[in-house]
Amino acid sequence: MSARRIAFLGECMVELYHRPGDEPGLLRRTVGGDTLNAAVYCRRALGEAGNVEVAYVTRLGDDPFGREIPAFCAGHGIATDLIEMGPGETTGLYAISRDEAGERSFTYWRSAAAARSLFAKGGHKEIERAVESCDALFFSGITLAILAPEGRERLLVIARRMRDAGKLVGFDGNYRPRLWSDVATARRAIRAGHAVATLTMPGLDDEHALFGEETAEAAARRLIEFGAKSAIVKRGGGAAVLLDRQGLREVGAPALPGPIVDTTAAGDSFDGAALAALLLGGDLDAAAAAGHRMAGLVIGGYGAIVDDPRTRWNAGPLAA
């Protein structure tokens, strides 16, 4: 039987970060980006369970950094046949800064990144068809922000068709104000992303900044009103609020296995593990539990993609 396939779509970039204890001014280099991080943690959560292939969809520059990224993805078990290379184009870059509590902030150099032209100018029909043929799709508010308006609309059409065909469409609102020309444009686009989702998984901070809700419960109700079939509203290390046909409820986070050192990719890893649970037949509660478990491990390491064997779940996300 052929493997089912989930496509994670967005922008991946060169990541620079300083690890405490390193020489001052030394920056380590790796690869990151919200949807790529989610793809890696989905692959790790799936382990040997089920028969699911994880693919990444993006466009990279053919600069030396961009040419390294497909091999990086393949090294994490991610299929790379849906990655386009743009001749003469460049790959985005970002640097992570952390405060004493491990909370992170980002500085980006991405205005001319190749990923911005994905799905634009009518030149990507083969990849569009390949994405739509997948069994599941995940994208984010950052994906919508970096795409040109034409590419953004094409993605939303594909996502809606996949959802209408009964496929899993995951979305995380990930609101980054600097990526948008104005709040109104961001609000319209991210609302449209929620509306085509089978499962939407935003963080409460982003929803509050964009739509004004003070509580996760109010945000979850609004997401369903927008058109999402189900919602998980993340509250950092607190209990996640869930809403679907079974009603409103909370799923708490387990005790952390260690100290928080870097919150980079906490939400992304939650998303990836939650989607893995759903792909293997778990319900919304199991998805939230898997998300909490993975995020709790990731924030104990440095960088977006941590080198921690505990994040590799050979028995799959439902075994625990």
DSSP secondary structure letters along 12-38: -EEEEE--TTSPTT--EEEEE-HHHHH
The architecture of the domain spanning 4-311 is 3-Layer(aba) Sandwich (3.40)
Is residue 268 annotated as a catalytic residue, yes or no?
Answer: yes
Predicted TM-score (pTM) of the model is 0.93
Which CB contacts under 8 angstroms, 24+ apart, belong to 183-190?
183/210, 186/141, 186/145, 186/210, 187/211, 189/141, 189/144, 189/145, 189/152, 190/141, 190/144
The residue extents of the domains of the chain are: 4-311
DSSP secondary structure letters along 79-108: B-TTEEEETT-B--EEEEEE-TTS-EEEEE
Report the distance separating Cα 19 and Cα 167, nearest Å. 40
- pLDDT, one tens digit per residue, over 77-112 is 999 999 999 999 999 888 878 776 667 677 878 878
Q: Which amino acid is at 94?
A: Y
- pLDDT, one tens digit per residue, over 205-227 is 999 999 998 899 999 999 999 99
- pLDDT, one tens digit per residue, over 149-193 is 999 999 999 999 999 999 999 999 999 998 999 999 999 999 999
Report the distance separating Cα 94 and Cα 96, nearest Å. 7
- Average pLDDT of the chain is 92
State whether residue 175 is helix, strand or coil.
Answer: coil
H/E stretch holding 57? strand 52-61
Contacts for 98 with CB less than 8 Å, ≥ 6 apart: 104, 105, 262, 264
- pLDDT, one tens digit per residue, over 1-43 is 568 999 999 999 888 877 777 888 788 888 889 999 999 999 9
Annotated catalytic residue, options 172, 206, 268, 271? 268
Q: Which amino acid is at 145?
A: A
**What is the predicted pLDDT for the residue at 211?**
95
Strand partners, 6: 54, 136
State whether residue 227 is helix, strand or coil.
Answer: coil
Report the distance separating Cα 317 and Cα 320, nearest Å. 7
Q: Are 205 and 219 in contact (CB under 8 A)?
A: no
Strand partners, 243: 231, 248
